[in-house]
Amino acid sequence: MAAKTNPIPSVWARQQPAPDQPALSRAAIVREAIAMLDAEGIEALSMRKLGARLNAGATSLYRHVATKDELMELAVDEVAAEIVVPSPDFARADPEADSPDWRAAATEAARSFRATALRHPWLSSVLGQAGLAYLGPNLMSFSERLAALFTAAGFPEPSRAIDTVLSYVIGMSTTEAAWLTTVARSGETEAAFIARLMPAAQQAAAGHDHLTDAYAEPPAADPAEIRETKFAYGLEVVLDGLSLRLPR
Amino acid sequence: MAAKTNPIPSVWARQQPAPDQPALSRAAIVREAIAMLDAEGIEALSMRKLGARLNAGATSLYRHVATKDELMELAVDEVAAEIVVPSPDFARADPEADSPDWRAAATEAARSFRATALRHPWLSSVLGQAGLAYLGPNLMSFSERLAALFTAAGFPEPSRAIDTVLSYVIGMSTTEAAWLTTVARSGETEAAFIARLMPAAQQAAAGHDHLTDAYAEPPAADPAEIRETKFAYGLEVVLDGLSLRLPR
DNA sequence: CCCCAGATGCGTACAGTGTTCGCAACGAAG
DNA sequence: CTTCGTTGCGAACACTGTACGCATCTGGGG
């Protein structure tokens, strides 16, 4: 029986070792997953589509990743590496200032966090579901650098200060990211989306005096700029409150 | 042909108008959905299970609710009614104090928000995905009351103050809710879960000096109490920072 | 060189999901 | 009694995450 009913195993059908395509590996999978999440959002990521993008079957991924949740955890830790937290060297920059510029460092860390959260809006969804229970290496060194920063700043209870500023930053960033996701789904520019939303908002605000005032007219400035100054304002508030807790 | 192959349509098989069971209505659906979300978490809610709980078929729900996302939006607005924001009557309570106790009112609102978020942990997941784009009546009056409070407190830009404190409260509450969800999934008590997590945390912290200090020994006090004082601390910080922005 | 063991890819299958569609039963209106 | 709009629902579709078992490939002894 030379001819079988099964597909003929021909030498030519032999799959070459994927000459250019990157081999299937945990790192490649995570990298491609992040690319997909960034491009199409969190609900567009499925194991089958991800496999297809890697020229692989869906179930092949499970050789390198235990479960989809674990894959998301890996993705979170991967993008956590993008957050830059300045080293606590600010004292050396200006040796005569005995109250060094920890505020600039904290501000830089906060801005970097926000930037990464807006660059990867799916992060907000994952944070809302899984929180900070992840122990990936990048998240750990993120925490470590924050601890170093606020300790060097002189806070008697650095973890309290960290939790406070981090809560503010997370709250503002996730809210912003969720909003931007909604905007992106509409396919419009942010300003156009706001303009289209205004009537509904004004109607919903009917009977509420302060809200009707707030929604009286569309904002004049660039929405992105508005969001940035809003973030900066709240951050200054939090840092002001914290600086009251510094000894002296 | 008295007998057909189809099931015999007997008078006795006629379904009574569901004597005790509540009729299928949008309100009943939302109420039951919230009960399910609270009891079993967000990923346990499916239209089929929800229908079964209401003695109804899965697809019947779509007569009263356009889509599952809309159902979630309704659920969010429903629980938003639980958040109590004090009326700005604090001035009248003590007529001689010209700087009335807006802090107590804001603190009460913040605590109420947190309590609601912890009572319905699924709220965090939804907030991370949809943000504040919802315009339900309860959310609107929540915003209105906040605006009234901070306006009466004398803030020149009340919306800025609101955004700041709300961001902090949302950030801390969602983080906490996500943590509690993880704990609940483990089936253990919070303290037991922490104890079981400690080794992994310590190992992950290896090489990070500040973190190894922080994870040196398990916390002594009741975890729930720790979380509460942490929340209170950060809130004080934010309110301190805000009070610097008050005129005078 | 051969052979075999372990690692890797993947086709099939299962139990579920949200949602659409067309049909049946109903209460009220004419 | 007939008609009509509303409500419920069974079947079906296009997906999802993942377990299982078989094929193939790779590298290291004999």
Which residue has better confidence, B128 or A158?
A158
Two tokens at A213? 């005032």
pLDDT of residue A130: 76
CA distance B107 to B132: 21
Q: Assess B141–A contact: CB distance below 8 Å, yes or no.
A: yes
B33 touches B45 (CB < 8 A): yes
Specify the domain boundaries for CATH 1.10.10.60 within chain B: 26-65
Residues A131, B159: C-beta atoms closer than 8 Å: no
Q: Look at residue B15 and tell me whether its pLDDT is greater than 80.
A: no
Stretch (H or E) spanning A185: helix A158-186
Two tokens at B225? 């109490």
Q: Which of B227, B236, B238 to mutate to test the interface with A (most CBs of A within 10 A)?
A: B238
Two tokens at A140? 């750990």
B205 touches A140 (CB < 8 A): yes
**Mean pLDDT score across all residues of chain A:** 89
DSSP B210-229: HHHHHTSS---S-HHHHHHH
A43 sits within 7 Å of strand D by its CB? no
Q: Which nucleotides of C are covered by protein (CB under 7 A)?
A: 8-12, 16-21, 25-27
Specify the domain boundaries for CATH 1.10.357.10 within chain A: 83-187+218-243
B137 touches A200 (CB < 8 A): no
> pLDDT grade, residue B132 (50/70/90)?
low
**Mean pLDDT score across all residues of chain B:** 89
Residues B124, A125: C-beta atoms closer than 8 Å: no
Q: Assess A205–B contact: CB distance below 8 Å, yes or no.
A: yes
Q: Assess B163–A contact: CB distance below 8 Å, yes or no.
A: yes
pLDDT of residue B226: 97
pLDDT of residue B218: 81
From the CB of residue A220, how many other CB atoms can be counted at a distance below 10 Å? 6
Read off the pLDDT of residues B44-96 as tens digits, 9 standing for 90 and up: 999 999 999 999 999 999 999 999 999 999 999 999 999 999 999 875 666 56
**Where do runs of H (alpha helix) occur along chain B?**
26-40, 47-53, 68-80, 90-93, 102-119, 122-130, 137-152, 158-186, 190-204, 209-214, 223-243
Stretch (H or E) spanning A201: helix A190-204
CA distance A205 to A48: 44
A17 sits within 7 Å of strand D by its CB? yes
Q: Which of A42, A166, A209, A210 to mutate to test the interface with B (most CBs of B within 10 A)?
A: A210
CA distance A209 to B43: 38
Read off the pLDDT of residues B34-44 as tens digits, 9 standing for 90 and up: 999 999 999 99
Specify the domain boundaries for CATH 1.10.357.10 within chain B: 81-187+218-243
B45 sits within 7 Å of strand C by its CB? yes
pLDDT of residue B19: 43
Q: What is the CATH code of the structural domain delimited by A83-187+218-243? A: 1.10.357.10
Which residue has better confidence, B62 or B220?
B62
Q: State the average pLDDT over residues A97-112.
A: 87
B209 contacts in A (CB within 8 Å)? 144, 148
CATH superfamily to which B81-187+218-243 belongs = Tetracycline Repressor, domain 2 (1.10.357.10)
Read off the pLDDT of residues A219-238 as tens digits, 9 standing for 90 and up: 889 999 999 999 999 999 99
Amino acid, single-letter form, for residue A63:
R
Q: Assess B181–A contact: CB distance below 8 Å, yes or no.
A: yes
- What percent of chain A clears pLDDT 90, i.e. is strictly above it? 79
CATH superfamily to which A26-65 belongs = Homeodomain-like (1.10.10.60)
Q: Assess A133–B contact: CB distance below 8 Å, yes or no.
A: yes
Nucleotide nearest to B54 (CA to C1'): D8
A159 touches A110 (CB < 8 A): no
Residues B237, A238: C-beta atoms closer than 8 Å: yes
Q: Look at residue A209 and tell me whether its pLDDT is greater than 60.
A: yes
Compare CB distances from B135 to A133, A200, A237 and report the shortest one's residue.
A200
Closest CA to A58 of A45, A70, A77: A45
pLDDT of residue A6: 36
> pLDDT grade, residue B10 (50/70/90)?
very low
How many Å does it take to go from CA A206 to C1' C29? Answer: 37
Q: Is B187 left (phi over 0), alpha (psi -120 to 50) or beta?
A: left
pLDDT of residue B68: 98
pLDDT of residue B99: 56
Read off the pLDDT of residues A135-179 as tens digits, 9 standing for 90 and up: 999 999 999 999 999 999 999 999 999 999 999 999 999 999 999
Residues B178, A132: C-beta atoms closer than 8 Å: yes
Q: Which of A118, A132, A168 to mutate to test the interface with B (most CBs of B within 10 A)?
A: A168
> pLDDT grade, residue B146 (50/70/90)?
very high
A194 touches B130 (CB < 8 A): no
B235 touches B114 (CB < 8 A): no
Distance of CA B223 to the CA centre of its chain: 20
Residues A140, B208: C-beta atoms closer than 8 Å: yes
